[in-house]
Amino acid sequence: MKRAPIIATAAFFSVLFVAMLVYICYYAYTNRVALTDNSYNGRQQLLLAQNSRGEIRAADGTVLAYTSNGQDKETRVYPFGRTFAHIVGYASHGRMGVESLSNYYLIHTSVDLHDKLEAELEGEKYPGDSVVTTLDVSLQEAAYEALSAYRGAVIATDPRTGRILAMVSKPDFDPNRIGEEWNEIISADGRNTCLLNRATQGLYPPGSTFKIITALEYLREHPEEVDSYHFNCTGHFSVGEDGIQCFHGQVHGQVDFASSFARSCNSSFANIGIGLDHASMAKTLQSLGFDRELPIDLPSSKSHAVCNELSTTADMMQLSIGQGTTGMSPLHLNLITCAIANGGELMRPYVVSSVVSEEGKEIVSYHPSGAGRLMRAEEAVALRTLMEGVVQNGTGKVLKEAAYTAAGKTGSAEFSSLTTDSHAWFTGYAPAEDPQICVTVIMENAGSGGEYAVPVAKRVLDAWYNESEAGEE
């Protein structure tokens, strides 16, 4: 008998086992977070019996959630109550927000043996690891108060990094009382939507804020004609039987491309829209992230817009002014605004910046990362000029008086054919020449964007400005 078959057998099984063992280690390590968070995994209870859930902190260290051990009973305390309801979330009756996102770290502990021993001697659980977020308390409070009683959402992000600075959604709930109010929240025939984070999961007609995208497409298709573009607005625009109106029938008169954008002339943009190439527009929509998952770890909805060879003239008119079947999440609009502000890059938005142990040792840290380029730098510059015009001599004038320069786009989105009421939108950034913060506001059923959403954005930007001024002194 020969040696070769035995050697081949030995080699084959050795290779097979090495492959399997490498696979096992790789699989167990890379999937450990998802596997621990799986609701069928009983080890979460095991961990919570041993460790007390860690803290959630704002970027400056302010505690947003902690576990208190009063009267032999652990309770989760949220010092800011409703203000951070959706983004910080809750951890009983299911999980949400950062409580869900970072559950793995919150229930694990990385304290050293000495601290464990100390905890054991005092009869306490081991302190779980704490999560440091990117959230800014004063911005969040400003956004929360500015939105007042309106339903809607406010998002503030740093366009350079993708750090989420504030995220508010209303109606809200009190995470401190989630246990007591749970039945009430989930009953009411599903009409009580306070658990929905409208900032990421809400889908709204984008209205005139969508003109940013129409303008981008026009810049791409007709770069030479932008400067010579002009249009005479009579308050409405029609081709055959299909027509649209400017907001509340306003007559804009002679407008060029920049003033069409600044004054948000629907007629002029419908005129632009019907001339766009359907295939090219579809490609732009796809590359901007429509009908795709957004690059974020929080649950979010896919924005939706239709443009194909079947789109009619009426469809294109509706699409170009953000009406019809188009739906966008506030987060998506904010991400596009960020890309414009930073020169075209889609930054991956994130809310957890690091995980630290009780003693302050850093366990994990998250860094800004890009998720692809949305537009060329020249296109971003052109859009920024248009958006500056909105504040300088258009629908965003409220921001003109601010102590800082700002730019943006308003929107007043009609959501029902039965009423002329509209959702108020604003998305923009400041300072105009060196963007450091992007704010997106949606207020359901409030009225026009310029009148309602811009002042809310201004209060958030004011808070940011005051903070950065104070920081410099």
Partner 1 sequence: MRLYVTELSRYVIAGLMLVYTVLSFLILKLSGERKRSGLYAVQIVVLFATQIACYVQIIAKTGSINYLFLFAFQIVILFATITLFRMLYPDGNRLVIHHMCMLLMIGMVMVSRISYDKAVRQFVIAAGSTVIAFAIPEIFYRLAFLKHLWPVYALFGIGALGAVLILGRVVHGSKLNYTIGGLTFQPSELIKIVFILCIASLLQERQDLLRVALATVLAAAHVLILVYSRDLGSALIFFVTYLTMLFIATANVWYLFSGIGAGALASVVAYRLFPHIRTRVQAWRDPWSQIDGAGYQVAQSLFGISSGGAFGLGLYGGAPGDIPYVERDSIFSAIAEELGLVFAVCMILVCVSCFLMILWEAERVQDGFCRLVAAGIGVTYVFQVFLTVGGGTKFIPLTGVTLPLVSYGGTSVLVTIWMFALFEGVCLVGTDERYQQYLTRMEEP
Site residues for partner 1 per CB under 8 A: 1-10, 13-14, 16-17, 20-21, 23-25, 27-29, 31-32, 35-36, 38, 40-43, 46, 113, 116-117, 120
Whether omega before 171 lies within 30 degrees of 0, making that bond cis, reads yes
Measured from the CB atom, is 21 or 279 closer to partner 1?
A: 21
Would you say 81 or 94 has its CB closer to partner 1?
94
Least distance from C-beta 33 to partner 1, angstroms? 9
Nearer to partner 1, 36 or 192 (CB): 36
Contacts of 246 (CB under 8 A, 6+ apart): 233, 235, 236, 252, 265, 266, 267
Instruction: Write down the residue that tokens 């170009």 correspond to.
Output: 320
Taking the complex as a whole, how short is the minimal distance between the CB of residue 125 and partner 1, in angstroms?
13
Kindly state the smallest distance separating residue 92's Cβ from partner 1, in Å: 21
Measuring CA to CA, how many Å separate 22 from each of 11, 15, 17? 16, 11, 8
* Least distance from partner 1 to the Cβ atom of residue 102, Å: 17
Nearest to partner 1 of 24, 381 (CB atom): 24
Quick one: 95 or 116, whose CB is closer to partner 1? 116
Contact 162, 349 (CB under 8 A): yes
Q: How far is the CB of 7 from partner 1 (least distance, A)?
A: 8
Least CB distance to partner 1 at residue 299 (A) = 17
Report the alpha-carbon distance of residue 60 to residue 77 in Å, rounded.
19
Which residue, among 442, 459, 438, has the nearest Cα to 208 in the 3D structure?
A: 442
| 33 vs 306, beta carbon nearer partner 1 | 33
Q: Which is nearer to partner 1, 1 or 403 (CB)?
A: 1
- Minimum distance of partner 1 from residue 89's CB (angstroms): 23
Give least dist CB 302 to partner 1, A: 21
Which amino acid belongs to residue 132? V
Smallest gap, in angstroms, from Cβ of residue 9 to partner 1?
6
CB nearer partner 1, residue 27 or residue 230: 27
Q: In a 10 Å sphere around its CB, with 0-12 CB exposed, 13-18 middle and 19+ buried, how is residue 336 labelled?
A: buried
Q: Which is nearer to partner 1, 30 or 68 (CB)?
A: 30
